Amino acid sequence: MVHADRLTKRFGSLTAVDQVSLDVEEGEVFGFLGPNGAGKTTTVRMLASLISPTSGAAEVAGCELGKQADELKLLSRIGVLPENVGLYESTSAYQNLEYFGRLHRVDPPTLRKNIERLLRMMDLWEKKDLPLGTFSKGMKQKVAIARTLVHDPILLFLDEPTANLDPEAAKMVRDVIMDLKKEKRTIFLNTHHLDEAQRVCDRVGILRTRLLTVGSPESLRFGSAKRRTVVRLESGSEALASAVRSRLAPRHVELSGDELTVEVDDPDRENPEIASAVIAAGGRILALSQLAPSLEDVYLKLVHEQETPA
């Protein structure tokens, strides 16, 4: 659905996006993670043909970027939700959707059906005739998402859809994205909410001007950082920790209160060995659990590495 090859965007001497290559498959929810100013919005704007890349190429929804003849075709096949909702507040939700549907040249009977279906899906049908100025932020964001769907696009670009929303409104919007995921829509989701990416996305890419990594949230979590086994003891001591260290060498063992943390590569194989070492050193185990790095750990590690190159 999206194939980008070394997409680059420079604004004067500033490189906003540098050689980004990625693929997004049909029906996939692809999360684009990165700090503010990482180039996420610029990448989406390039992929949506709103701005032209300085170099590189891409094919989006069957259209070639930069090809004049494909530009309007591409815009009719995709739905773009910008970071700012950008709705007409003096008009109603229905009128907002109707306007954008007309601009997308949806025939009137289909447009009426689509608007009703979307507003019902967003639980806003009863409020369809109220001016948007009276809506809460979360409700406006739902109308904005409905706007991106009014012409039934095959690919959605959602740029920070939960930014600046309170937790309740953010959840409301996230639920809508989950519904769209269930409908097998292809979604390109820009976010800096790692939790959101982990819950919603099939794969994520971490961007900081350059694309640092791409993978499923699970593979990123387990692929790039060590896993740790935590042993909760009846009573922890430095002497016990030293004894365990000597038995488990060269593994890294750390004592914190009554908890021993051991870095492992393969928990299934190594955990029985760890338990035996603790018991042999005279420790009494209350519980043994596994700590996996969160997506946040991976993200921070990669972004930090990018900031401080070796």
Residues that bind another protein (CB under 8 A): 11, 45, 48, 50-52, 72-73, 75-76, 78-80, 82, 84-91, 95, 99-100, 102-105, 144, 147
Q: Which is nearer to another protein, 75 or 295 (CB)?
A: 75
Between the CA of residue 129 and those of 116, 125, 133, 138, 150, what are the distances in Å?
A: 12, 9, 12, 17, 17
Minimum distance from CB of 30 to another protein (Å)? 19
Q: Which is nearer to another protein, 149 or 264 (CB)?
A: 149
Q: Which is nearer to another protein, 76 or 261 (CB)?
A: 76
Minimum distance from CB of 80 to another protein (Å)? 4
Q: Which is nearer to another protein, 122 or 241 (CB)?
A: 122
Q: Which is nearer to another protein, 11 or 178 (CB)?
A: 11
Q: Quick one: which of 223, 236, 222 has its CA closest to 290?
A: 222
Minimum distance from CB of 26 to another protein (Å)? 21
Minimum distance from CB of 169 to another protein (Å)? 18
E strand map for the chain: 2-11, 14-24, 29-33, 55-60, 63-64, 78-81, 155-159, 186-191, 203-208, 210-215, 227-233, 253-256, 259-264, 285-291
Buried b (16+ CB within 10 A) or exposed e, 83-116: eebebeeeebbbbbbbebbeebebeeeebeebbe
Q: Quick one: which of 209, 175, 179, 203 has its CA closest to 189?
A: 203
Q: How many CA atoms lie within 13 A of 135 on its CB side?
A: 29
Which residues are CB-contacts of 154 (< 8 A; sequence separation ≥ 6)? 1, 61, 77, 78, 186
* Cα-Cα end-to-end distance for the chain: 36
Minimum distance from CB of 191 to another protein (Å)? 18
Q: Which is nearer to another protein, 90 or 308 (CB)?
A: 90
Q: Quick one: which of 82, 64, 28, 22 has its CA closest to 207?
A: 22
Q: Which is nearer to another protein, 159 or 196 (CB)?
A: 159
Minimum distance from CB of 253 to another protein (Å)? 53
Minimum distance from CB of 85 to another protein (Å)? 7
Q: Quick one: which of 282, 290, 298, 239 has its CA closest to 261?
A: 290
Q: Which is nearer to another protein, 158 or 277 (CB)?
A: 158
Helices (H), 22-81: 40-47, 68-77
Minimum distance from CB of 141 to another protein (Å)? 13
Which residues are CB-contacts of 301 (< 8 A; sequence separation ≥ 6)? 224, 225
